[in-house]
Amino acid sequence: MRKKIIAGNWKMFKTVNEAVELVNGLKREVSDITAVDVVVCPTFVNLAVVADMLVDNNIKLGAQNLFWENEGAFTGEVSAPMLKAVGVEYVIIGHSERRQYFHETNDTVNKRLKSALKAGLLPIVCVGENLAEREGGKTFDVVKDHITGSLAGLSPEDMGKVVVAYEPVWAIGTGKTATSAQAQEVHKFIRETLTKMFGGAVADGVRIQYGGSVKPENTADLMFQPDIDGALVGGASLKVDSFAAIVKNSIKK
């Protein structure tokens, strides 16, 4: 049984005071929940403050990116051991906004992934096609390319620690959600691809999140598909009520 994982990607939102307010609200609403893993991913500058607030709490902490060298003259970058030392458990890698605006490729995603695993972080690796690719019938080609390229060279044991997030770019921040059937179809394809790469036992254990305009209203429909094991939530993770409702709606009653 794969345990669902609901992660809030705060992107470049929330000053420190706003982050504290949001985490206080979430602690009131979802701290007691153990049926699913709940993760919040603030900006780098707010990680230490949020880490302190989450000591001895079920809510887990994630970062949104990292650089693959451990230290050095890389102005503006943050490394995996630095994240680990501050109390981070998860790290989002290769989000489509990083691929689109910051020139990330499968190759740089792969380097980040290996460095995260080496430091003992649990990576959330994002894959997904854009609108032109979907309309051009290239969804499976693009997703296969992202999966094989981003996860290249991983041992089956390391793959067991990775979460994959399928995020169709056309559904991110647009209010356009993939239907549960559209999402399930791609999730199943991802699991088949993982089976070819790492074997069935490993692939069966990998949690595959859906991301792209997840809201309280569409959570249950998406989350109870056979190959969907959680959500990576952007906009709706910025408010206590909507994120708490998504977490609660992802648990089978």
Query: Which residues form the interface with ligand PGA (CB under 6 A)?
Result: 9, 167, 172-173, 211-214, 232-236
- With respect to ligand PGA, which residue has the nearer C-beta, 28 or 176? 176
Taking CB atoms, the residue at the shortest distance from ligand PGA is 234
Residue 187: active-site member: no
Contact 38/88 with Cβ under 8 angstroms?
A: no
Q: How far is the CB of 190 from ligand PGA (least distance, A)?
A: 16
Structural tokens at position 35: 């049926």
- With respect to ligand PGA, which residue has the nearer C-beta, 11 or 84? 11
Residue 167: active-site member: yes
Count of C-beta atoms within a 10 Å radius of residue 144: 17
Q: How far is the CB of 241 from ligand PGA (least distance, A)?
A: 15
| CA–CA separation, 180 and 228 (whole Å) | 9
User: Partners of 41 in the beta sheet?
Assistant: 9
Q: How far is the CB of 35 from ligand PGA (least distance, A)?
A: 22
Closest of 122, 127, 138 to residue 190, by C-alpha: 127
Catalytic residue among 29, 104, 167, 187, which? 167
- With respect to ligand PGA, which residue has the nearer C-beta, 54 or 172? 172
| CA–CA separation, 245 and 237 (whole Å) | 10
Please list the active-site residues: 95, 167
